[in-house]
Structures are given as structure tokens and as C-alpha cells.
Amino acid sequence: MGRKIAFNYDRALDKATSLFWKTGYAGTGLRDLLKVMDIGEGSFYNTLKSKKNLYLMCLQRYEEKEIHARMHALASAPTAALGIRAFFLRVLDRLDHPNIPSRLCMIAAMASKEVLSEPDLRKRAKKGLEDVRALLRERLVRDRDEGILPSSLDPSIVASIITTYLQGLWRMALVEYDRPSFEQQIDVFLSGLGL
């Protein structure tokens, strides 16, 4: 029979997710995690195994709570152009939220030397970006095949360009965030892509 968890697991994961989101993988120490999660070292290792394992769990939690809403906005719009614009509006809405731990997306924050130097974390970072790129591509293919977008449009290239732009947007928001300016940039950017 397994041991009963001696702490509030969901609350602890939420707290750890917020801490990783705020300080990044390399900037988050075990002591900080134990303190914010309000658990002992023994419980941590018995239940969560390692900092890396916890980080991977927190990334999954972040995707379920944060990225799912963006993906839903993209997928549920009547056209790819409207869906991509809705996706970016969700990003800006989140950046406007006063209580987010960081203006940098937790997946985008994985593009750091410390994370990318570990093969399994690098693989997870690539998967996070590829998931976004794949959904963008799928949505663009559908509209191209239905004649909504020109047949000359290359969905793979356009999806990659949008994903790259999104990574830059997160980093620019760290430097200076002004929503009206970002909205104008996004509009010009997407219009230039024919969206």
C-alpha cells in the first residue's frame, strides 16, 4: 500500500509552477521550492523525485492552464486569420493581468542555456514550441485547402514565422510592455503575412 501524501498536492504544484514561472528553472533552488510548497525534503523526494521532474510537471500544469486557452481561441475561430488574432489577444490579455509571476511565457523561458543544456529538457522545450507551430500549421492548411487563404501560402513557413515572432514578443514585453503598441505591431505583422 502506498504512502499517503502529507501535503496539499495541487496547491503545492500551483505554488511551484508560479515560482518556476517567476524565476525560471536555473533560478529556482530546492530550498525555495520547499518553502513555497510548504513541504519537507523527504516528502519532496518521495513524492516528486527531483527538481527536474517537478519542473516538467509544472510545465504540464502551465500548459493545461495557460496555453490551452490560447490554443482554444485559435482552433475555435471561424478562420485561421481570426483564430491567430484571437490567440494573440489571449497573450496580451494575460500580459495585462496584474498578478502573473512573469511577463515571459513559461515555455518561452525554457530557451535558456541551463534548460537547453539538459537533453530531456531541451526535448521538452522543442515539443512545447512544436505543439504551437503544429496547431498554427493545421489551422492554416485548413483555410488554404478551403480556398480562404491563397494556394501559394506555405502553412509550415508561416506557422514557423508566427512562432518565432511570438518568442520575440514575450522578450520585448519584459523590456517594455505597452498594449496599444503591441496590438499595432501584431496587426501589421499578421497583415504582412496575409492574415
Q: What is the pLDDT of residue 9?
A: 82
Within-domain flag for 154: yes
Cα distance between residue 88 and residue 83, in whole Å? 9
What is the average per-residue pLDDT within 56-85?
94
Residue 42 maps to a domain:
no
Q: What's the pLDDT at 151?
A: 95
Is the residue at 178 inside a domain? yes
CA angle at 33 for the pair 27 and 36, rounded to the nearest 5°: 120
CATH value at residue 116: 1.10.357
Query: 46 or 178: whose pLDDT is higher?
Result: 178
Whole-number pLDDT of residue 168: 95
pLDDT at 2: 47
Range of the structural domain that residue 127 is part of: 60-192
In a domain, 106, yes or no: yes
What single letter denotes the amino acid at residue 88? Answer: F
pLDDT at position 45: 87
Residue 10 placed within a domain:
no
Q: What is the mean pLDDT of residues 101-108?
A: 90
pLDDT in tens, 1-11: 445 555 678 89
Q: How many domains, the chain?
A: 1
Go through the chain and tell me how many residues it has: 195
50 within domain boundaries: no
- Sequence-separated (6 or more) residues with CB below 8 Å from residue 101: 18, 19, 21, 22
Q: What per-residue confidence (pLDDT) applies to 49?
A: 84
Domain for residue 144, yes or no? yes
Average pLDDT, the chain: 92
What is the tens place of the pLDDT at every residue in 109-132? 998 999 999 999 999 999 999 999
CB 21 within 8 A of CB 102: yes
The three three-digit cell numbers of residue 49, written as one number: 523525485
Residue with the bigger pLDDT between 142 and 6: it is 142
User: With pLDDT > 90 as the criterion, what percentage of the chain qualifies?
Assistant: 79
Q: Is the pTM of this model over 0.85?
A: yes
